[in-house]
Chain A
Amino acid sequence: MTLLTIEHLNKTYADGTEALRDVSVRAADGEILAILGGSGCGKTTLLRLVAGLDEASGGVISVGGERMTGTHRTISAVFQEPRLLPWLNVEQNIGFGGQHLSAEERSGRTAALLDRVGLAGYGKRWPKDLSGGQQQRVAIARALIGHPGILLLDEPFSALDPFTRGSLHELLLALWQEMKPTVLMVTHDVDEAVFLADRIVVMQPRPGRVHETITMNLPRPRDRISPVFDTVKRRIMHAIDRSLGEHGRIGLRQAAGELSPWW
C-alpha cells in the first residue's frame, strides 16, 4: 500500500527555472530514503510535489499503485521549521495531524505520542513557550498521529544543535520502528543520512536530477563514531563531490580509490 514510486518527474517553475528533470525514485514499503544534494538541486521541490503542494510539469507519482493528484491522507510531513499553529496548544497541534480520526481516538493517540516524544505534561503549553527542539518534537508527533504510510521530512533538524539533532534522530528511528512508514527525507547532513537511511539518493543541480543511488548495508543500531560509519560517510561525500561538478568541489583530498572498500 505504501510503496512510493516517482517516475520521470519534471518540474519547471513559471519563471522558467527547470528544478527537476526526469527524476525517478522508488521507495519500498517501510524504507527510509534520504535525499542528499547541494543547494538548489530540487530536493524541496521533489518533496513538495510528493506532498501534493505543487503540481508537476510531467511524470507520475504513485502510492501503492494509485496515481496521486493533490494531497493525500496517507502522506504527512515535517517541514524545516516546526510550523506549529500558534493559536493551538501542544495537544491541539498534535491532534491537528489526525483530522480524520474520531475525537476519542485523537485524544488517546495525542496522549500516547506526547509521552513518546518526551513532552508529557507539556500538552497545555503554547508553541511560543517551547524550545526549537521541543517544537520540532511536536511537529513529529503531529505528522505521525494519523499513522501515515509515507512520511516526508524536509531538513527537519537542520536548525537544531548537534545534540538535540542526535536525540531526535534516535526518536525518529524508534517511532519509525513502531509504525514503519515509508520515509522520504531531505537533508544536507551526510552524517544524518548515513545514520538514518536505508538508501541515499544523491542529486545533482541545474537541472535537478538523480546523480547516484547508494544502498546502506549498515545494520541498525548504527554507531556514529565507528570506523565503518566513517568509511560510508566518505563514500557519500565523494558521490556528492562528483555530483557538484567542477564548480562545487567540497574540499576532499583523498581520492575515492584510496578508500578501503567496505561493501
Chain B
Amino acid sequence: MGGAARPWLTGLIVPVLLGVAWEAGVRFGLIPGRLMPPPSALWHSAVAMTHAGELQTHVAATLWRVLTGFGIGAATGTVLGTLTGASERARLLLDPTIQGVRAIPSLAWVPLFILWLGIFETSKLALVALGVFFPVYLGVLSSIQDVDRKLVEVGRVFGLTSFGIVRRITMPAIMPVWIAALRSGLGLGFMFVIAAELMGASEGLGFLLLDGQQMGRADSILVAMVTFALLGKLADGMIVGLSRPLLRWQDTVRARL
C-alpha cells in the first residue's frame, strides 16, 4: 500500500528510531546503561553468547519445546474440535467437560503437571500443549458449525458421500479459521514455554531470563526477549507463508491489501 517499493520497510521506522534514541540516551548519560543496555551492548552480548555456543543451546531447547508442544496441542485440538463440531452426540458428551477445563487458568496446572510428570521435559511439553489446545479446539469446533449449509447441499446434490463432504467442503471451508486458530495457538505456545522454563530449567530462553535476573545481567534478559520476538515472528510467518496458497480464494479485505 501507499506506493512504497518495500512496504514492510515502513514497519521498521519506529523500532529504528527508538533504538537510535535509546543508544543516544545512554551515550549522553540520560539512561542508566547497566539496567537498560543500549542496542550496541545487546549486540555485543548476543555475539559473545553465540561464540560461546550458549545462545544456540537455549534457542534449540526452547524451539524444541514450543514446536513439540504445539504439534501435540494443535493435533488434539483439531481432532477433538472436528469430532465435536461434526457430531452432535460427541459435542453433548465432550464439549461441557472441555469447556469446564478451559475455565481453569492454564497456569494453574503447573504444580500438578510437575507433581505428575516431574520437572523435566514432559511437564513442560504438557503445559505448552495445553495452551495451544484451546484456541485450536474452539476455532475448529465453531468453524465447522458455521460451514454454509448451502454449500454442503451442493456436495450432496452432486453425489458426495459424508466423507467426501468433510474432505471437499468442510475442510476447505474451515481452513481460514483453522489457520488463524493455529496462529493464536502458537502465540500462546510461546507464552507457556516461558512459564514452563521459569518454573525450573537448565537451558532455554526462559532459563536465560531467570538467570539474567539472578545474575543482575539486564543484557542477557533483553537478548532473550529479543530472541523470543524474532522466533515468534518467524514461526508465525512460516504458518502465514505456508497457508497463503491455500487461502488465495478468499474474498476478504485483507486479501486485497
Contacts and interface: CB of A to CB of B under 8 A. Distances in A.
A86 B250 contact: yes
Interface of A: 51-53, 71, 73, 75-77, 79, 81, 83, 85-89, 96-97, 99-100, 126-128, 142, 146
B157 interface: yes
20 contacts: A51-B157, A52-B156, A52-B157, A53-B153, A53-B156, A71-B157, A71-B159, A79-B153, A83-B151, A85-B151, A85-B168, A85-B172, A86-B251, A87-B249, A96-B168, A99-B159, A100-B159, A126-B248, A126-B251, A127-B249
B154 interface: yes
B191 interface: no
Interface in B91-149: none
Contact of A99 (B151, B160, B251): B160
A155 to B, nearest CB: 14
Q: For A73, A85, A142, which residue has the most chain B Cβ atoms within 10 angstroms?
A: A85
Contacts of B158: 76, 96-97, 99, 142, 146
A128 B249 contact: yes
A89 B175 CA distance: 16
B150 to A, nearest CB: 5
A85 B150 contact: no
Contacts of A86: 249-251
B180 interface: no
Contacts of A89: 249
Category for how many chain B residues contact A: 10 to 19
B159 A83 contact: no
A86 B172 CA distance: 9
A53 B168 CA distance: 18
B159 A73 contact: yes
A79 B159 contact: no
Contact of B150 (A76, A83, A96, A100): A83
B48 to A, nearest CB: 50
B188 to A, nearest CB: 28
B159 A85 contact: no
A26 B82 CA distance: 43
Interface in B162-216: 164, 168-169, 172-173, 175
Given A53-B157, A99-B159, A100-B159, A87 B251 contact: no
Contacts of A99: 158-160, 164
Given A71-B156, A87-B172, A79 B150 contact: yes
A52 B155 CA distance: 12
B104 to A, nearest CB: 37
Of B153, B168, B175, B251, most buried by chain A (CB within 10 Å of CB) is B153
Nearest to A99: B159
Contacts of A52: 156-157
The 6 A-B residue pairs with the shortest CB-CB distance, nearest first, are: A128-B251, A87-B172, A87-B249, A99-B159, A126-B249, A77-B157
B234 to A, nearest CB: 28
Contacts of A127: 249
Most central of B154, B157, B250, B251 by chain A CB within 10 Å: B157
